[in-house]
């Protein structure tokens, strides 16, 4: 079975919500839409306090090239534009809307029939995706239209679709592939047209055998789309690892996948692109998994952006008594949240509730130089060396040991027998070295 | 509900732990321990007991009063040092020498560098070499193997098979003349030979090695590279002059070869981190051991070879970096 | 026996003489001329090699100073004006007398004032923690209490108080700037030590509006501007929802300390004021949690009462600081 070559670990999968069909949850009374929910510059609000908005109406426009538009997920009145805590732990500017009814703008096609006829040209597709505010839904939230703008001289050999979902506990992509597979594949064809390529490879981890079968069957209707099962190994879904597993090509250090003729998109993004291009629907809702060992009803919810997390937890039958940590994302790369008032944003793939007894880190002891971290690193780095030199603040050496290649997957900390928080120090070193590199390029 | 915890990712941890690794090595040493008790009787147990107790005691003492740190004896590494130290000495060694050896091994070989994980040299070997050089007579009169099923009798001492071979060759005798006076290859394999407790049974040691490979405590690189190098290097000389150079099987089965290759050289703290570096490390140990055995003054070269290569580990780590992902790109 | 000694002494002695001659010629050939005044200046400097002057160690400072030929822009904060005057004498130049400074921690978000709303579990580094969350108390400008400042200090002058989780500066501080750079939230500032070592500063750098700031920390600056209005020397500036006292303009009159409704302004090393008996019965907490800013005419009488009430807790704080400085 195909897989990436270096390193990797296999945390327990715990896909507790894999059987839970996607549910739409009730609209909240108030939504908080952060302006900076994508990579790049935060958007600029184009509504003000007191304005009435409808679902799908644009409420913020992109600032600069790497940025995205934001559309209202609800209909109602803009309450205020203020700083609110988001998942970063800091207060960021957001638009707060009081919900009244559920009125959509009439440009959106709300019919549920599947439209496989792609009428737009490649350039129109790129513009439409930009207009509809579609960003990468795998978690990185990179504005998707930028990936479609292939510079002259570069050619896309493969469009790679990431259906891997290698993080434990998360199942939103899995359910999307099962329940809306055909629409997602049309989204893939739209992307193929936009990129001017005729080969698409969909990678799915082998623990989702039903999705693999379904998609293989559906893909026969489409030209050029292949479905490949991949070994269950973390981080199979990392962009560079996925490209190597499916095509054998290695993206060089510091470069984009386009260097090796590939563009990677998440299955959720492909579906959002289908909705944007075929149904004129901007991105304002997404599937969020709510899961955890103590959660009474692990579920996958279709939630509007801006919904406070506590509404989703209530819909999963409440916050368990023994909650110790609430994580936005999966257990390997997710961020711990301060409280449940934080809103759902475009990059929220799941909410993981960890019981108290699993929330405390074990005590760190001396490094025994076992090199398990070196074995586990999927980028071929030496986490023990990066961690020690970051701690000693020898940033020249940290940079020379290629810390900027680190994808922060967490495999090293996961596998360390001495419970050393390797990734914490490496992240610190990466931040500092990133700053040094930026200063250097300014001079 | 108590306060939520905030910490950085990852939020889960695998089930590796230092304790598991250390105790796994201890379990792997049990077959060899049982065989040595069979051949050397209760003396074997006495030596092991004294060595382990002394190692644990000294580590606890130094950690608590000199380094002022939290207790570390429960992670099992002092137990391993004790057992390996015991395996390297004759089973009739006086108790006070064992205690001194443990003090040097733990105090100088491990704690003086800061404790577990910070020592460049294998602590058990540091202790053993110290004892060998300081108490050469007691450290080289090895009891003969006397299976306890034959009844418990007084120990008869004498040089090991390796010692006999070395003396004989230096005196000018040929290999075939000497071979008559030493145990057969099969005897060497199962352990019916004189020597230290850890030298005797090849099969028990190999069993322990397989257990550690299965539990992923060690990888094949170091043991295989050491043994292959020894076999090939000594094989070349044996091929050239069979009467002056012993056959490779003899080298592989005698002395601390298997104990060193499987348990001592693979000590994680003092061995290199990447597989390529480990192969070079093993080749180096193999070469040096054979050179000392054939041309050096000592009959046994393993301990010195490992210590010498331990000194080269930082260089090896620097020279053999792991394969990086993505081709090298020159940054502007 | 004598022969052995003779030969040993003779051969080693000859070797030594030959080596000495070779070394002499090599030293002469490769000699680097250095201004001897650099050595003189280096002798006077305190040899702390802390970098507070902006140069890589005392020798580098001495070299730069002698090369520059002027004392303008050169100051050794550790040695202070005494050392600079001596250096000036050695070089025959006029020394600039700089006002002595001390590091000031501008946050009072202790565990009591800003109770923890989450538990932090991670490495003890403020710089790393700042990237994952804003702080246990909820204020994103406040001190994290993990001690990067304490680690960076070469003079044992700043320590995180384990009871309050806020760093405290002692008199050992020489204003070398290390802690200012180490703090990822820019909480520490170098301010003038002040006449008789007295100084006044706003112990809060929160840039949030009053209501959210107060929600997280009971002694936050809510930018009510009372201090700004009352200062007779125009020393206070209201910017970004907080007050800032300019230490050059401040004349230590303490009017601002009296009017601050949240006790955000701190006065250091002032003598105790006589406490009226009625004031003891006052409940200090009531004043601190007063959120409504009432700018009506009755304020004058209200203020006077507040001034008296606040002496009790204020002096306790000043006392504690005095004790700290005495001990140091």
Q: What is the ipTM of this complex?
A: 0.87
As given in the structure block, the two tokens for residue A300 are 């996958």
Whether residues C75 and C43 fall in one domain: yes
Residue B270 forms part of a structural domain: yes
- The residue from C172, C187, C202 where one domain ends is C187
- Shared domain check, C151 and C77: no
Q: Where in the sequence is the domain holding C137, given as residue range(s)?
A: 100-187
Of B124, B137, B34, B114, give the one whose Cα is nearest residue B83.
B124
* C-alpha gyration radius of chain B: 21
The answer to the question of residue C61 being in a domain is yes
**Do A332 and B10 make contact, defined as CB atoms within 8 angstroms?**
yes
Residue of B2, B3, B7 with shortest CB distance to C122: B7
Which of A56-60, C272-276, C294-298: highest mean pLDDT? Answer: A56-60
Predicted pLDDT of residue C302: 36
| Confidence category of residue A312, pLDDT binned at 50, 70, 90 | very high
Confidence at B148, pLDDT banded by 50, 70, 90: low
**Average pLDDT score over residue span C266-281:** 64
> pLDDT (tens digit, 9 = 90+) per residue, A268-277?
999 999 999 9
Q: Does the CB of B68 have a partner CB in chain A at under 8 Å?
A: no
| For B75, nearest residue in chain A (alpha carbons) | A365
Does residue B205 lie within any of the structural domains?
no
Q: What is the pLDDT of residue B191?
A: 66
Report, as an integer, the average pLDDT of B66-95.
87
Task: Check: CB of residue A398 under 8 Å from CB of residue A437.
Answer: no
pLDDT by residue (tens digit) across C8-18? 999 999 999 99
**Residue C85 sits in the same domain as residue C113:** no
d(CA B297, CA B291): 10
Quote the pLDDT of residue C67.
84
Question: CA dist C205 to A143, A256, C107, Å?
Answer: 35, 41, 7
Residue A202: its pLDDT value, please? 95
**What average pLDDT does range B111-139 have in this prediction?**
91
pLDDT at residue C281 above 60? no
Q: Are residues B244 and B105 in the same domain?
A: no
Say yes or no: B250 and B181 in one domain.
yes
Mutate to test the interface with C, among B2, B5, B7 (most CBs of C within 10 A): B7
Mean pLDDT of C27-51: 85
- Non-local CB neighbours of B136 within 8 Å, separated by 6+ positions: none
B126 and B165 both lie in a single domain: no
C133 at B interface, C-beta within 8 A: yes
Same-domain check for residues C109 and C166 = yes
| pLDDT beyond 70 at C279 | no
Same domain assignment for residues B173 and B134: no
Which residue is closest to A361 within chain C, CA to CA?
C121
> Does residue C200 belong to any structural domain of this protein?
no
CATH of residue C171:
3.30.70.20
pLDDT, tens digit, 9 for 90 and up, residues A126-157: 999 999 999 999 888 999 999 999 888 888 99
pLDDT digits (tens, 9 = 90+) for B306-321: 999 999 999 999 999 9
pLDDT at A185: 94
Q: Does C52 map to a domain?
A: yes
Q: Is residue C135 part of a domain?
A: yes
Q: pLDDT tens-digit profile of B123-132?
A: 999 999 999 9
Inspect the interface and report whether the beta carbons of A89 and C123 lie closer than 8 Å: no
Q: Quick one: pLDDT at residue C323?
A: 45
CA–CA min distance A226, chain B (Å): 25
Cβ count within 10 A of residue B226: 31
Q: Among A263-272, A304-313, B154-163, C30-39, whose mean pLDDT is lowest?
A: B154-163
Whether residue A290 is predicted with pLDDT greater than 60 in this model: the reply is yes
Residues 6 or more apart whose Cβ sits within 8 Å of residue A329? A139, A167, A170, A335, A348, A349, A350, A352, B9
Lowest mean pLDDT among C70-79, C244-253, C298-307: C298-307
Do C109 and C153 reside in the same domain of the chain?
yes
pLDDT at B266: 94
Using a CB–CB cutoff of 8 Å, tell me whether C208 touches chain A. Answer: yes
B219 shares a domain with B308: yes
Q: Residue B252 falls within a domain, yes or no? A: yes
The alpha-carbon gap from A415 to the nearest alpha carbon of chain B, in Å, equals: 5
Q: Within this chain, do residues B166 and B135 fall inside the same structural domain, yes or no? A: no
Measured in residues, chain A has a length of 443
> What is the DSSP secondary structure assignment for residue B14, as one 8-state letter?
-
Count structural domains, chain B. 2
Mean predicted confidence (pLDDT) in A213-225: 92
pLDDT at res. A104: 92
CA dist., res. A150 & res. A194, Å (int): 10
Nearest to A191 by CA among A216, A225, A236: A225
- From C46, C61, C91, give the residue that closes a domain: C91
The 8-class DSSP code of residue B148 comes to: G
pLDDT at res. A434: 93
Interchain CB distance below 8 Å, A380 and B1? no
pLDDT of residue A71: 94
- Band of residue B332 on the pLDDT scale cut at 50, 70, 90: very low
Is B260 a domain residue? yes
Q: How far is C77 from chain B (nearest CA, A)?
A: 36
Q: Can you give chain C as a three-state secondary structure string?
A: CHHHHHHHHHHHHHHHHHHHHHHHHHHHHCCCCCCHHHHHHHHHCCCCCCCCCCCCCHHHHHHHHHHHCCCCCCCCCCCHHHHHHHHHHHHCCCCCCCCCEEEEECCCCCCCCCCCCEEECCCCCHHHHHHHCCCCCCCCCCCCCCCHHHHHCCCCCEEEECCCCEEEECCCCCCCCHHHHHCCCCCEEEEECCHHHCEEEECCCCCCCHHHHHHHCCCCCCCCCHHHHHCCCCCEEEECCEEEECCCCCCCCCHHHHHCCCCCEEEECCCCCCCCHHHHHCCHHHHHCCCCCCCCCCHHHHHHHHHHHHHHHHHHHHHHHHHHHHHC
The pLDDT tens digits for B13-32 are: 998 899 999 999 999 999 98
C152, two tokens: 């960076």
Number of structural domains, chain C? 2
CATH of the domain at C50: 1.10.15
pLDDT at position A79 over 90 = yes
CA C114, chain centre distance (Å):
22
CA distance A397 to C23: 37
Considering the domain architecture, whether residues B179 and B287 belong to the same structural domain is answered as yes
Q: Are residues B171 and B289 in the same domain?
A: yes
Confidence of residue C280 (pLDDT cuts 50, 70, 90): very low
Taking only the tens place, the pLDDT of each residue in A46-58 is: 999 999 999 999 9
Quick one: pLDDT band at residue C82, thresholds 50, 70, 90? confident
Tell me how long chain B is.
332
Residues of chain C contacting B7 with CB distance shorter than 8 Å: 120-122, 132
> Is the CB of residue A165 less than 8 Å from the CB of residue A173?
yes
Residue C140 belongs to a domain? yes
Own/partner pairs, B49-54, CB within 8 angstroms, 24+ separation: B50/B86, B50/B95, B50/B98, B50/B99, B50/B102, B51/B82, B51/B83, B51/B85, B51/B86, B51/B89, B51/B98, B51/B101, B51/B102, B52/B78, B52/B79, B52/B82, B52/B83, B52/B86, B53/B82, B54/B82, B54/B98, B54/B99, B54/B102, B54/B103
C83: in domain? yes
Of C139, C158, C187, the one marking the end of a domain is C187
Q: Are residues B118 and B178 in the same domain?
A: no
pLDDT value, residue A304: 94
Do residues B133 and B165 both lie within one domain?
A: no
| Residue C110 lies inside a defined structural domain of this protein | yes
Domain match, C104 and C80 both: no
**pLDDT for position C308:** 39
Which of A419-428, C269-278, C318-327 has maximum average pLDDT?
A: A419-428
Task: Select the residue of C118, C121, C127 nearest A360 (Cβ to Cβ).
Answer: C121
B6/A379 Cβ within 8 A: no
Q: Tell me, yes or no, whether B242 and B172 share the same domain.
A: yes
Q: Stretch C38-45: mean pLDDT, rounded? A: 86
pLDDT value at B200 more than 80: no
Ordered domains of chain A (ranges, CATH): 1-19+104-360 (3.40.50.11540), 372-442 (no CATH)
Q: Are residue C174 and residue C142 in the same domain, yes or no?
A: yes
pLDDT at A424: 93
Task: Using pLDDT thresholds of 50, 70 and 90, give the confidence band for residue B67.
Answer: confident
Q: Which chains touch B (3 or more CB pairs under 8 A)?
A: A, C
Give the strands of the sheet with A22-24, arranged side by side.
Answer: A22-24, A299-304, A285-291, A350-355, A323-328, A335-336
Of B6, B18, B323, the CB nearest to A336: B6
pLDDT category of residue B327 using cuts at 50, 70 and 90: low
pLDDT at B154: 62
- Predicted pLDDT of residue C312: 41
How would DSSP label each residue in B56-115?
A: HHHHHHIIIIIS-----GGGSHHHHHHHHHHHTS-TT--HHHHHHHHIIIIIITTGGGTS
- Note whether B6 contacts C133, CB cutoff 8 Å: yes
- Contact flag C134-A360 (C-beta cutoff 8 Å): no
Task: Give the domain extent around B30.
Answer: 18-139
Q: Are residues B128 and B241 in the same domain?
A: no
Confidence of residue B169 (pLDDT cuts 50, 70, 90): confident
The alpha-carbon gap from C182 to the nearest alpha carbon of chain B, in Å, equals: 21
pLDDT, averaged across chain C: 79
Tell me which of C305 and A391 has the higher pLDDT.
A391
pLDDT tens digits, one per residue of C92-103: 887 777 788 899
């Amino acid at each position: 079975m195909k897989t990436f070559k270096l390193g990797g670990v296999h945390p327990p999968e715990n896909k507790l919500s894999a059987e839970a069909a996607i549910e739409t949850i009730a609209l909240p009374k108030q939504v908080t839409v952060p302006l900076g929910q994508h990579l790049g510059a935060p958007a600029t609000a184009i509504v003000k306090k007191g304005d009435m908005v409808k679902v799908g109406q644009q409420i913020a426009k992109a600032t600069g090239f790497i940025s995205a538009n934001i559309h209202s997920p609800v209909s109602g009145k803009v309450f205020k534009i203020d700083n609110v805590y988001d998942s970063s732990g800091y207060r960021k500017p957001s638009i707060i809307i009081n919900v009244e009814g559920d009125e959509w703008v009439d440009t959106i096609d709300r019919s549920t029939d599947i439209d496989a006829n792609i009428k737009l040209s490649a350039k129109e597709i790129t513009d439409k995706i930009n207009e509809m505010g579609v960003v990468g839904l795998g978690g990185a939230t990179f504005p998707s239209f930028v990936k479609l703008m292939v510079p002259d001289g570069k050619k896309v050999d493969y469009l790679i679709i990431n259906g891997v979902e290698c993080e434990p506990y998360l199942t939103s992509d899995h359910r999307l592939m099962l329940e809306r597979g055909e629409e997602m594949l049309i989204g893939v064809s739209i992307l193929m047209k936009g990129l001017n390529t005729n080969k698409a490879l969909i990678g799915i981890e082998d623990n989702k055998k039903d999705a693999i079968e379904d998609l293989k069957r559906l893909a026969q209707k489409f030209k050029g789309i292949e479905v490949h099962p991949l070994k269950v190994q973390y981080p199979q879904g990392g962009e560079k690892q996925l490209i190597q597993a499916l095509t054998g090509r290695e993206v060089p250090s510091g470069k984009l996948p386009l260097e090796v003729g590939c563009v990677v998109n998440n299955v959720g993004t492909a579906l959002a692109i289908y909705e944007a291009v075929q149904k004129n629907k901007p991105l304002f809702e997404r599937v969020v998994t709510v899961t955890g060992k103590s959660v009474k009803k692990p579920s996958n919810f279709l939630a509007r952006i801006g919904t406070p997390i506590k509404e989703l937890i209530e819909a999963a039958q409440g916050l368990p008594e023994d909650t110790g940590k609430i994580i936005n994302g999966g257990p390997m790369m997710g961020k711990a949240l301060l409280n449940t008032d934080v809103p759902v944003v475009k990059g929220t793939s799941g909410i993981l509730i960890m019981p108290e007894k699993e929330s405390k880190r074990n005590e760190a002891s001396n490094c025994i130089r076992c090199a398990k971290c070196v074995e586990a690193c999927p980028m071929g780095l030496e986490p023990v060396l990066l961690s020690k030199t970051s701690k000693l603040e020898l940033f020249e050496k940290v940079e020379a040991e290629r810390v900027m290649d680190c994808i922060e997957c967490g495999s090293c900390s996961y596998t360390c027998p001495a419970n050393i928080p390797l990734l914490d120090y490496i992240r610190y070193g990466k931040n500092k070295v990133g700053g040094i590199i930026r200063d250097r390029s300014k001079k | 509900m108590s306060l939520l915890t905030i910490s950085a990712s990852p939020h889960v941890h695998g089930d590796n732990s230092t304790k598991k690794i250390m105790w796994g090595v201890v379990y792997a040493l049990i077959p060899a321990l049982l065989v040595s008790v069979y051949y050397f009787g209760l003396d074997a147990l006495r030596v092991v007991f004294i060595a382990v107790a002394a190692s644990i005691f000294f580590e606890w003492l130094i950690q608590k009063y000199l380094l002022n740190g939290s207790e570390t004896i429960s992670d099992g590494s002092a137990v391993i040092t004790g057992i390996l130290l015991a395996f390297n000495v004759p089973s009739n060694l006086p108790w006070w020498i064992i205690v001194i050896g443990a003090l040097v091994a733990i105090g100088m070989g491990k704690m003086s560098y800061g404790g577990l994980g910070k020592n460049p040299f294998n602590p058990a070997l540091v202790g053993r070499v110290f004892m060998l050089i300081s108490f050469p007579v007691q450290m080289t009169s090895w009891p003969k193997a006397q299976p306890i099923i034959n009844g418990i009798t007084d120990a008869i001492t004498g040089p090991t098979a390796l010692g006999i071979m070395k003396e004989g060759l230096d005196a000018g005798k040929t290999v075939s003349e000497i071979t008559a006076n030493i145990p057969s290859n099969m005897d060497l394999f199962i352990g019916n030979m004189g020597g230290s407790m850890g030298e005797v049974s090849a099969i028990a040691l190999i069993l322990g090695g397989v257990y550690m490979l299965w539990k992923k405590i060690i990888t094949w690189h170091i043991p295989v590279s050491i043994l292959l190098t020894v076999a090939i290097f000594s094989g070349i000389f044996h091929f050239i002059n069979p009467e002056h150079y012993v056959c490779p099987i003899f080298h592989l089965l005698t002395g601390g070869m298997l104990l060193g290759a499987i348990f001592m050289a693979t000590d994680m703290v003092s061995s290199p981190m990447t597989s390529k570096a480990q192969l070079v490390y093993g080749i180096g140990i193999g070469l040096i051991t054979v050179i000392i055995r054939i041309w050096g003054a000592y009959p046994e070269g393993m301990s010195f070879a490992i210590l010498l290569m331990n000194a080269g580990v930082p260089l090896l780590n620097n020279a053999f970096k792991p394969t990086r992902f993505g081709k090298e790109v020159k940054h502007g | 026996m004598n022969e052995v000694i003779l030969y040993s002494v003779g051969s080693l002695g000859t070797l030594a003489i030959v080596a000495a001659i070779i070394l002499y010629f090599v030293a002469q050939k490769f000699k680097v001329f250095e201004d001897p005044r650099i050595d003189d200046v280096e002798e006077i400097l305190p040899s702390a090699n802390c970098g507070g002057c902006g140069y890589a160690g005392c020798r580098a400072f001495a070299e730069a100073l002698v090369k520059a030929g002027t004392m303008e822009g050169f100051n050794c904060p550790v040695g202070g004006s005494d050392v600079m005057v001596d250096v000036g004498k050695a070089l025959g130049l006029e020394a600039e007398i700089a006002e002595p400074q001390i590091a000031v921690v501008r946050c009072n978000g202790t565990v009591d004032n800003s109770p923890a709303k989450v538990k932090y579990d991670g490495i003890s580094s403020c710089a790393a923690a700042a990237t994952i969350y804003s702080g246990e108390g909820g204020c994103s400008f406040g001190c994290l209490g993990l001690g990067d400042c304490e680690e960076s200090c070469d003079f044992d002058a700043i320590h995180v108080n384990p009871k309050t989780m806020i760093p405290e500066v002692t008199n050992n501080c020489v204003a070398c700037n290390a802690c200012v750079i180490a703090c990822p939230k820019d909480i520490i500032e170098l301010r003038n030590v002040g006449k008789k070592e007295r100084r006044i500063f706003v112990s809060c750098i929160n840039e949030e509006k009053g209501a959210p700031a107060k929600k997280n920390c009971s002694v936050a600056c809510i930018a009510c501007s009372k201090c700004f209005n009352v200062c007779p020397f125009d020393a206070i500036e209201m910017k970004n929802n907080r007050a800032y006292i300019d230490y050059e303009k401040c004349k230590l009159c303490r009017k601002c300390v009296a009017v601050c409704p949240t006790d955000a302004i701190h006065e250091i090393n002032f003598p105790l004021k006589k406490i009226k008996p009625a004031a003891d019965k006052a409940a200090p907490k009531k004043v601190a949690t007063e959120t409504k800013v009432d700018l009506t005419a009755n304020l004058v009488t209200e203020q006077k009462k507040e001034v008296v009430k606040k002496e009790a807790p204020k002096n306790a704080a000043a006392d504690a600081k005095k004790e700290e400085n005495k001990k140091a």
